[in-house]
A and B are shown apart, each in its own frame.
Chain A
């Protein structure tokens, strides 16, 4: 039995020393901004599209988006790297304590930042408080066939491992927790540990440039841990002390 660090009020230590941490490394030098991860994520997680007007008004539901900024002036202009931005699964997530309904919580088993859809009442406080702005809100009933008749057919594709969210509910990247559980269940039934690289998230699986690596960051020998030790590694908005679980490898 392990000591419950929570009970000891050892706040920082929880995130640092926790077991079972999953993490991700994204190599921005490799990311080509091709959107395969976005499409894969949408297909895996039953993410609704919101159509032109809402999409242009900041209501797109992407759980992962590639950000890009310009550097310099023509002709010395360049794109300063594509940065896929997704839930950083913070060790100390600012979104969690502000939810009055305990709808977004820290999971002890996977050390992830969970969103419990059916607890969510839609105050959107978590989204306001997310420094990474990676939470998306169901502004309408995008997946209801009474609102969108085409869903009747499109829904054949829906992943039965992932629920469909209705209006008024916040959602975000889950690190494909359904895949984590599936792999863990399988490993357990075979009486072994989940092996590094045995499975991966939908985005990492699709990424043609192999820019995304997923795995256990509490296992120092895992690929993701090795990559995270790269001198190019950095965390986004690290100064906030959110202990993000996504490491970015800078260009150069």
Chain B
């Protein structure tokens, strides 16, 4: 709670704590955001160069090798036909869920703390989906024919098989990628216009912003259309988001395999996605706050505190769904499912199963209940990272480890990752690289949304107590 020992007024303290009560003139704020974008140290370029090299080698070169030689260079085998490729696909789709969650669900429920980082989160959605796409294409044996999966008229007169969960996946991921990109772009237009106005003529940046701002001025009509569209998007993208990860879970749940065929997989995957997504958001916010100029003003402990609360709730929900899935499988007593559960816990990769539970449940519960701890950026960064590791483990357990056990014990075999480790590192590097590029090209803080929020917030005295009030502007 607020510390009133030093007789700093409560009001002053509140203003210090909360971005929304600490208004800044629009011009100044614009400047801060532009400055954050334009201030680039050599460290940035060092990391950028390093990541670019990793992307070139691990992602594109190694992928090229795999395309030419075949999937034999990876570790996939019978019965682990899917391996890390699908682990990463699920993982990145999971990451992508945080953006939508923050900017759509929190927008719908008018959670004000969302304002400064909706864009940072939405960028994760789009870039995460790009990596998911990479992972799923890598996984294909004949990626050069991947367009055959698209529902487009073709000379083969053959349409995709809509019985297949993979076809649903394709539709859902495409829908999600397109809609989340549009949802990223729409609220970006006013900020692009801002950047346009603050960029000198004759530079390529000017051309860039001018083109992307589409001629936005901020007329009443433009704002109305935009606001309407954003409201539609915020509502409509939520079921799309749920459908995406549910359908991803159906890739598994529709299969006639022990352990996979589970009706709770849909919500379990969705909550898992949010779990890793929120973990990733705090990581990104901590890095942005720590490395980019002026960001300490925009991203404050209160934000970590609020996300931390969400993380704790999601962690509890995840544990609930996990247990739900587990006990039903366990209780059923099917021979093969029992073997699988035993394999999860006592097999050679049993440590991963326990690590998953520790990282996803034990550590978040042990730390996030404490307001001070969850307000500490570095601490919550570590918790977020562990959650992401834990969630990656969870997918690893669901994909290759569960694939080991099937109904033909003669074929059970351990999976040893090969080139896909490189490719996975490549997607991670590419994700960060895209993020870094974006942070230099587009305003990472939605200035107009922050301004709108600051406009809506005020302090009001009730008796002796000063409280924050928010007015509904819309």
Task: Enumerate chain A interface residues (CB-CB to B < 8 A).
Answer: 54, 57-59, 65, 67-69, 85, 94, 97-102, 119-125, 127-129, 131-133, 136-141, 167-170, 237, 240
With a CB–CB cut-off of 8 A, which chain A residues contact B251? 125
Closest CB pairs A-B (n = 8): A122-B141, A168-B141, A167-B70, A139-B72, A140-B72, A97-B163, A58-B77, A168-B142
Interface centre among B145, B161, B403, B416 (most CB of A within 10 A): B161
Task: Enumerate chain B interface residues (CB-CB to A < 8 A).
Answer: 69-72, 76-82, 139-143, 145-146, 148-149, 158, 160-161, 163-167, 170, 251, 254-257, 403, 406-411, 413, 416
Contacts A132-B408, A137-B141; is A98 near B254 (CB within 8 Å)?
yes
Chain A residue, CB-CB nearest to B406: A133
CB of B81 within 8 A of CB of A100, answer: no
Q: Which of A67, A120, A121, A125 contacts B410 (CB 8 A)?
A: A67
CB of B78 within 8 A of CB of A137, answer: yes
With a CB–CB cut-off of 8 A, which chain A residues contact B71? 122, 137, 139-140, 167-168
CB of A59 within 8 A of CB of B77, answer: yes
With a CB–CB cut-off of 8 A, which chain B residues contact A121? 140-143, 145-146, 148-149
20 more CB-based (< 8 A) A-B contacts, given A122-B142, A124-B81: A65-B410, A98-B163, A100-B166, A100-B170, A121-B148, A121-B149, A123-B140, A128-B257, A131-B408, A133-B406, A133-B407, A137-B141, A138-B141, A139-B72, A167-B69, A167-B71, A168-B70, A168-B141, A240-B256, A240-B407
CB of B146 within 8 A of CB of A136, answer: no
Bound together, the chains give a CA A105 to CA B416 distance in angstroms of 31
Bound together, the chains give a CA A240 to CA B257 distance in angstroms of 10
Contacts A100-B149, A133-B78, A138-B70; is A125 near B166 (CB within 8 Å)?
yes
Q: Which of A59, A85, A168 contacts B408 (CB 8 A)?
A: A85
With a CB–CB cut-off of 8 A, which chain B residues contact A132? 407-408
Bound together, the chains give a CA A104 to CA B292 distance in angstroms of 52
With a CB–CB cut-off of 8 A, which chain B residues contact A69? 409-410
- B309 CB to closest chain A CB (Å) equals 39
A-B contact pairs, 25 of them (CB 8 A): A54-B72, A65-B410, A69-B409, A97-B161, A97-B163, A98-B166, A100-B149, A102-B158, A102-B160, A121-B145, A121-B148, A122-B71, A122-B141, A123-B140, A124-B81, A128-B255, A129-B257, A131-B257, A137-B71, A140-B70, A141-B70, A167-B71, A167-B72, A167-B141, A169-B142
CB of B142 within 8 A of CB of A58, answer: no
With a CB–CB cut-off of 8 A, which chain B residues contact A85? 408, 410
With a CB–CB cut-off of 8 A, which chain A residues contact B72? 54, 59, 139-140, 167
Bound together, the chains give a CA A97 to CA B161 distance in angstroms of 8
Q: Which of B139, B161, B410 contacts A101 (CB 8 A)?
A: B161
- B463 CB to closest chain A CB (Å) equals 65
Bound together, the chains give a CA A59 to CA B329 distance in angstroms of 30
Is chain A's binding surface mostly helix, strand, loop or mixed? loop
With a CB–CB cut-off of 8 A, which chain B residues contact A65? 410
With a CB–CB cut-off of 8 A, which chain A residues contact B413? 57-58
CB of A100 within 8 A of CB of B160, answer: yes
CB of B82 within 8 A of CB of A131, answer: no
CB of A98 within 8 A of CB of B165, answer: yes
With a CB–CB cut-off of 8 A, which chain B residues contact A98? 163-166, 254-255
CB of A123 within 8 A of CB of B139, answer: yes
CB of A123 within 8 A of CB of B166, answer: yes
CB of B70 within 8 A of CB of A139, answer: yes
Contacts A58-B411, A58-B413, A136-B78; is A97 near B257 (CB within 8 Å)?
no
With a CB–CB cut-off of 8 A, which chain B residues contact A67? 408, 410
- B259 CB to closest chain A CB (Å) equals 12
Q: Which of A99, A128, A140 contacts B81 (CB 8 A)?
A: A128
Chain A residue, CB-CB nearest to B163: A97
With a CB–CB cut-off of 8 A, which chain A residues contact B254? 98
Bound together, the chains give a CA A198 to CA B408 distance in angstroms of 33
- B418 CB to closest chain A CB (Å) equals 10
With a CB–CB cut-off of 8 A, which chain B residues contact A54? 72
CB of B142 within 8 A of CB of A120, answer: yes
Interface centre among A99, A128, A129 (most CB of B within 10 A): A128
CB of A101 within 8 A of CB of B148, answer: yes
Q: Which of B78, B146, B167 contacts A58 (CB 8 A)?
A: B78
Contacts A99-B164, A131-B406; is A122 near B140 (CB within 8 Å)?
yes
Bound together, the chains give a CA A115 to CA B165 distance in angstroms of 19
With a CB–CB cut-off of 8 A, which chain B residues contact A100? 149, 160-161, 164, 166-167, 170
CB of A57 within 8 A of CB of B81, answer: no
With a CB–CB cut-off of 8 A, which chain A residues contact B148? 101, 119, 121
- A244 CB to closest chain B CB (Å) equals 12
- B171 CB to closest chain A CB (Å) equals 10
Q: Which of A68, A94, A127, A138 contacts B78 (CB 8 A)?
A: A127
With a CB–CB cut-off of 8 A, which chain A residues contact B160? 100-102
Bound together, the chains give a CA A123 to CA B403 distance in angstroms of 15
With a CB–CB cut-off of 8 A, which chain A residues contact B406? 131, 133
With a CB–CB cut-off of 8 A, which chain A residues contact B82? 124, 128
- B314 CB to closest chain A CB (Å) equals 29
Bound together, the chains give a CA A170 to CA B70 distance in angstroms of 12
Contacts A119-B148, A124-B82, A170-B141; is A102 near B161 (CB within 8 Å)?
yes
With a CB–CB cut-off of 8 A, which chain B residues contact A128? 79, 81-82, 255, 257, 403
- B1 CB to closest chain A CB (Å) equals 53
Bound together, the chains give a CA A140 to CA B251 distance in angstroms of 25
With a CB–CB cut-off of 8 A, which chain A residues contact B410? 65, 67-69, 85, 133
With a CB–CB cut-off of 8 A, which chain B residues contact A101? 148-149, 158, 160-161
Interface centre among B69, B78, B145, B163 (most CB of A within 10 A): B78
Chain A residue, CB-CB nearest to B252: A128
Chain B residue, CB-CB nearest to A125: B166
- B167 CB to closest chain A CB (Å) equals 4
Interface centre among B142, B146, B407 (most CB of A within 10 A): B142
- A243 CB to closest chain B CB (Å) equals 13
With a CB–CB cut-off of 8 A, which chain A residues contact B77? 57-59, 139
Chain A residue, CB-CB nearest to B399: A128
- A57 CB to closest chain B CB (Å) equals 5
Chain B residue, CB-CB nearest to A68: B410
Bound together, the chains give a CA A128 to CA B139 distance in angstroms of 14
With a CB–CB cut-off of 8 A, which chain A residues contact B141? 120-124, 137-138, 167-170
- B172 CB to closest chain A CB (Å) equals 13
With a CB–CB cut-off of 8 A, which chain A residues contact B166? 98-100, 123, 125
Interface centre among A101, A119, A141 (most CB of B within 10 A): A101
